[in-house]
Copies of this chain bind each other. A is one copy, B any other.
Amino acid sequence: MSRVVKLAVIPGDGIGPEVIAEAEKVLDAATAGSGIRFDKTRFSLGAARYLETGDTLTDADLDAIRQHDAILLGAVGGVPGDPRLKDANIERGLLLKLRFELDHYVNLRPSKLYAGAPGPLAEPGDIDFVVVREGTEGPYVGNGGAIRKGTPHEVANETSVNTAFGVERIVRYAFDLAEQRRKKVTLVHKTNVLVHAGSMWKRIVDDVAREHPEVDVDYLHVDAATIFLVTNPGRFDVIVTDNLFGDILTDLAGAVTGGIGLAASGNINPDGAFPSMFEPVHGSAPDIAGQQKADPTAAILSVALLLDHLGLRDEAARVTRAVEADVAARGTAARTTAQIGDAIAGAVQA
């Protein structure tokens, strides 16, 4: 069997290129001799590109990226406080623009505590859940504005937009995923305050739940959910939630499962109309860039999600197992980014 996968690679800024180099190593190792060939196009996007050209993500960039089967992204964002980036907002103009333009409505973020991974909890228990974060609606839509800007009479609004269409498709995805896992879905929202959006989410979860009688469903307010993430994370299987709550919960989840050095994510368009994008949850960390200090594991686990998305389940499982073994064997001795990548790539091939 021979198959060509067109992969757009966006190394990005800061530690992005370093962790992506290791992720590619592991991708190559996992697919060596399998007849699958990755036809890669590199896109130079991010703060560095913006500083050079003033462009964040042009229509031509988008068109070119759309021609691919999938995207692997490192991290984007310049040095915090850099005055030349004051008006750039690389996050909105690049990362969120990709998620919105490519209709990445599933922001998939698994959280698993690997044996040997360091974590802040005294008694973490078994942690293995997935946050299914809505990716194209909610407070992220950019429907905000301000009047009397810069004056003592300024009013700044931000509107969260939620549609039944958008909520239903993410809720269905969450239930389908739960069917393949421990069959539990937890809706996280703030229905007692955000009553309009909240009651629509609740209604749709209740409706879809009726089609999945074997799935347990519960509900938590977002504030209570953060408590359980540190006192009883083992209670979660699949969490389904909106864009902003998902952002908050997944950083916290990353922290309790050994740090965002291990947290991977997929920005998925399940319909296949657009290429899905895989990226570590961490940022570009410009303070340690170019020093081989970054942990490439999150980028490597993002490769596992990418392989899984492409239907290459065995290859994905081999990457995950190699990471698991590597994490379990990690001592206190510091390794370079490349050393970690080499070790995992080696284990994948073994």
Q: Which residues of A contact B (CB under 8 A)?
A: 89, 91-92, 96, 119-123, 139-140, 142, 144-146, 148-165, 168, 190, 192-197, 199-200, 203, 222-224, 226-227, 229-231, 244, 247-248, 250-252, 254-256, 259-260
B244 near A231 with CB under 8 A, answer no
A227 near B157 with CB under 8 A, answer no
Which residue among A96, A119, A145, A251 has the maximum number of chain B CB atoms within 10 Å of its CB?
A: A251
A196 near B153 with CB under 8 A, answer no
**Chain B: CB-nearest residue to A250:** B223
Selected from B91, B92, B193, B256, the residue in CB contact (under 8 A) with A91 is B193
Q: How many copies of this kind of chain does the complex include?
A: 2
- How far does the alpha carbon of A250 sit from the alpha carbon of B226 in the complex, in Å? 10
Residues of B within 8 A of A160 (CB): 139, 157-160
- How far does the alpha carbon of A236 sit from the alpha carbon of B242 in the complex, in Å? 28
- How far does the alpha carbon of A226 sit from the alpha carbon of B248 in the complex, in Å? 7
Show 12 A/B contacts (Cβ-Cβ < 8 Å), sorted by A. Answer: A91-B193, A120-B122, A144-B195, A152-B165, A153-B165, A154-B163, A154-B164, A156-B163, A157-B160, A158-B160, A190-B244, A231-B255
A194 near B158 with CB under 8 A, answer yes
Selected from B190, B197, B222, B226, the residue in CB contact (under 8 A) with A156 is B197
- How far does the alpha carbon of A227 sit from the alpha carbon of B263 in the complex, in Å? 13
Residues of B within 8 A of A154 (CB): 163-164, 200
Selected from B164, B197, B255, the residue in CB contact (under 8 A) with A158 is B197
B192 near A89 with CB under 8 A, answer yes
Selected from B92, B163, B229, B256, the residue in CB contact (under 8 A) with A193 is B92
